[in-house]
A and B are shown apart, each in its own frame.
Chain A
Amino acid sequence: MAGGADNAPALEGRRRGLAGLIPGSRKRSRDLALIWLFLAPSLAIFAIYRIVPLIWNAVLSFQFWSPYKPAEFAGLYHYEEMLFYDDAFWQTLWNTLIFMASAPVGIVFALAVALLVDTNIRGRNVYRTIFFMSYPVMTVAVGIIWQWLFNENVGLINYVLIELGIIDRGIPFLESFDWALPSVILASIWQVIGFYMIILLTGLQSIPPSLYEAAAIDGANALQRFRRITLPLIRPSLFLCFVVGIINSFTAFDLIFVMTGGGPGHATDLLITYIYSIAFRLSKFDYAAAITVVNFLLFLALAFLANRLAGGEAGAVKTGG
């Protein structure tokens, strides 16, 4: 693992290798300058498109600002507004958390599918393809497809439910305050489940069969093998899926925008759609910046938490022999 004591010789070897090629400190510093020169465009782009907007957004959140007039210092005005007076902010925050909490549901389902298509069933490649097919579909197309499926009068889901005698009149899934968010979440899970499945399948296939054989010889049943071998060894894959799920809940703009526009009321608005709406529909960029800061901090906290849950080594790269 990076930074681990076991990697020290490898890193030292690399360092010495580089130094060995460059005799003399002057040449070394010239080469370092060259390295920085090559890195500079990427760093500049990163700074311009990531760091500067982030800082500027934070500054903006403490100002009264619009595209049409000079900025004025606002102190904590926008934060006070957001925390104490804006019900819609709390609702969209809550919706975002619900959206995020739905990620494990999708992951569990994807794991079940991955376990199924990892067995020696006939046509498993076809099943894998079918399950994966939803992922490359454009999100806008996914939104439109599910909009039709959920339609109160002509939607397939209502048709099936009525035919089965479960309901006697169509449910307005996307127009109902109770059903709209679960419906959008279902569409979101459907889209990403193929991706989760592939990631988890990769994890499953990297587990040496000898481990299962040894466990079976020791008398472990299927559930024990799953709990003691499969789950621990696919933890990095599960972590990746969870991170993707979190990111998805913070960026699921297009699906919401197409399916419900955030409505009814703010029933399906997430923080990201609310920020857009505040900034570009209401022209309140300063207030939107304050919500963005909260969004960013929340995202940061969750990424940190996820990293800790993954053992504090997420993103670490194994180097050396």
Chain B
Amino acid sequence: MRKLAIALAAGAATLAMTLHPGSASAQEKKITVMTWNIPYFTEGFDKWVAAFKKVHPDFEVERIDMKGTELPTFYQTQVVAGTPPDIVDVQGGLWLQYASQGGLKNLDPYLERDKDYTDRINPQILDNWKYEGHHYGVPLYISKTLLFLNRNMMKEAGITEDPTSFDEIMADAEKMTGGENTGFMTLNFDWLYWPLFAMNGVEFVGDDGKAAFNTPEAVALVKRLADLTEKGVINKISWTGRWVEPNGAFAAGNVGMLHAHAPAFLWFKSKADWVNDESVGAMNMPGGWSTPNSHSLVLSEGSKWPEEAWDFMKIATSGDGAYAMGTGTNNLTGDMQVNEKLMGYFKENLPAVVPILETQLQDLDKLTGNWPFAQDAAIKDAFYPELQAALLGEKSAEDALSEAERKVNRILQRR
């Protein structure tokens, strides 16, 4: 009995020592980088690590790649566990809820100190990650919405000119609609549909910080969009799908126009033989309105090695590191010098994406849907279901916008 008890106690002690995260591992010089669904980006990442090791030879770099649907969950569990990844690649407005709750480091002191780096980054792009006057992220690769045109369908419908206004987009969409064909489609996540509202003069919030979207113009617009959806001019997937569904539908070749962000092009090109630089056109939305959906690197407040992590972030987002990112994922970056070099690379190696990428650096003063709300996700969650109900004919536009206004204002007011 005594021997058994001693054996059990010894076993428990061994197990505890094995599982305990402290002691040796706590002293480990290692930074962890979590990337957003780019598992194929290995060669470039290795280049980042090699460059980082030249500066910090005694440090190790651990990489975790997560799908977008899993990353927020994983990140937050790591934060709770006290072991957040030092650097995180985040998309859209996700960073806002982390930054507003004190989960991310304010990067202003680093940006002010390392002027050589900061001067390379496009300030309009950098300001995408500004919350309450402070920067919390640096651009990893950039993307914003644009209008893809199915030239084959336009030709069949006798459309020779690209649309120059919202009305023309919808008129062209009606011409292309019939049978299996629908004229227009948009992505709807992360405010990507908001340029449709912006180009019709609808503001989301006013100067008083309250919801400003419940106007007669907005009601008329929602009614019109709902009516066109009912008629099949606007593909219903616009309001129900996320990313794969609308892009897949456009790849099928029977959607006239797709309002989506730049990376959609290579996705649907990979799914459809008919897609090339002649059959698919790309243009900024009339008026230049677009919603950014760029990726940035942010630095966890709980990082044990913030200086080293910042060095890694600089390597990854500028110079050769940014070039590796651009060529490895076929995107432009925040580094203006690197973008010039990247455009040369794409002209030579991937000419089909050049017209698309050119739009990504234009009209940067017409970005919309990137409001720095502390509760960005909660506001989306309050607004979109109401709008969706109206667009799918479940509610009247008046009721939906009034209800959305009430909910959004409540979120804007509460803690």
Contact = CB atoms under 8 A, between A and B. Distances in A.
Interface stretch (B95-103, B158-166, B201-209, B281-289): B95-103
Nearest to A154: B252
Interface residues of A, number: 30
Nearest to B389: A265
Interface string B22-50: 00000000000000000000000000000
Contacts of B18: none
A281 B394 contact: no
A321 interface: no
B130 interface: no
Residue in A37, A177, A283, A285 whose Cβ sees the most chain B Cβ within 10 Å:
A283
Interface stretch (B145-153, B257-265, B374-382): B374-382
A150 to B, nearest CB: 12
Given A30-B1, A152-B236, A68 B394 contact: no
A280 B73 contact: yes
Majority secondary structure of chain A interface residues (helix, strand, loop or mixed): loop
A175 interface: yes
Contact of B102 (A34, A69, A87): A69
B410 A264 contact: no
A282 B394 contact: no
A176 interface: yes
A216 to B, nearest CB: 55
B388 A283 contact: no
Contacts of A69: 101-102
A177 to B, nearest CB: 4
A24 interface: no
A284 interface: yes
Contacts of A30: 1
A282 B375 CA distance: 8
B396 interface: no
Contacts of B76: 67, 280, 283, 285
Contacts of B301: 68
A282 B101 contact: no
Nearest to B407: A87
A64 B415 contact: yes
B19 interface: no
Residue in A69, A280, A284 whose Cβ sees the most chain B Cβ within 10 Å:
A280
A177 B86 CA distance: 42
A284 B242 CA distance: 23
B103 A265 contact: no
Majority secondary structure of chain B interface residues (helix, strand, loop or mixed): helix
Interface string B179-195: 01000000000000000
B392 A177 contact: yes
B306 to A, nearest CB: 15
Contacts, number: 76
A213 to B, nearest CB: 57
A85 B382 CA distance: 12
A104 interface: no
A67 B242 contact: no
A155 interface: no
Given A37-B8, A172-B236, A177 B101 contact: no
Nearest to A86: B407
Contact of A175 (B1, B240, B407): B240
A66 B385 contact: no
Interface string A274-315: 000100111111000000000000000000000000000000
Interface string B357-397: 00000000000000000010110010001101100101000
Interface in A148-190: 152-153, 172, 174-177
Contacts of A87: 407
A67 B79 contact: yes
B253 interface: no
A263 interface: yes
Contacts of B103: 66-68
B132 to A, nearest CB: 15
Contacts of A37: 5, 8
Interface string B209-241: 000000000000000000000000000110110
A264 B1 contact: no
Nearest to B403: A87
Contacts of B79: 67-68
Residue in B5, B101, B102, B240 whose Cβ sees the most chain A Cβ within 10 Å:
B240
A78 to B, nearest CB: 11
A23 B208 CA distance: 83
Contacts of A203: none
A34 B1 CA distance: 8
A67 B83 CA distance: 11
Given A30-B1, A265-B389, A68 B98 contact: yes
A282 B236 contact: no
A67 B80 CA distance: 5
A264 B381 contact: no
A276 to B, nearest CB: 8
B328 interface: no
A264 B388 contact: yes
Contacts of B102: 68-69
Contacts of A172: 236, 240
Given A67-B76, A261-B242, A263-B388, A283 B377 contact: yes
B378 A284 contact: yes
Contacts of B98: 68, 283
A256 to B, nearest CB: 14
B380 to A, nearest CB: 9
A281 B381 contact: yes
A266 B242 CA distance: 15
Contacts of B239: 175, 264
A36 to B, nearest CB: 12
A67 to B, nearest CB: 4
Given A69-B101, A281-B72, A283-B76, A264 B392 contact: yes
Contact of A280 (B72, B385, B394, B415): B72
Contacts of A282: 97, 375, 377-378, 381
Interface in B64-82: 72-73, 76, 79-80
20 contacts: A37-B5, A67-B76, A68-B102, A68-B301, A88-B381, A88-B385, A172-B236, A172-B240, A175-B240, A263-B385, A264-B239, A264-B240, A265-B389, A280-B76, A281-B72, A282-B97, A283-B98, A283-B377, A284-B378, A285-B76
Given A153-B180, A261-B242, A281-B381, 5 more contacts: A67-B103, A68-B101, A175-B240, A176-B392, A283-B98
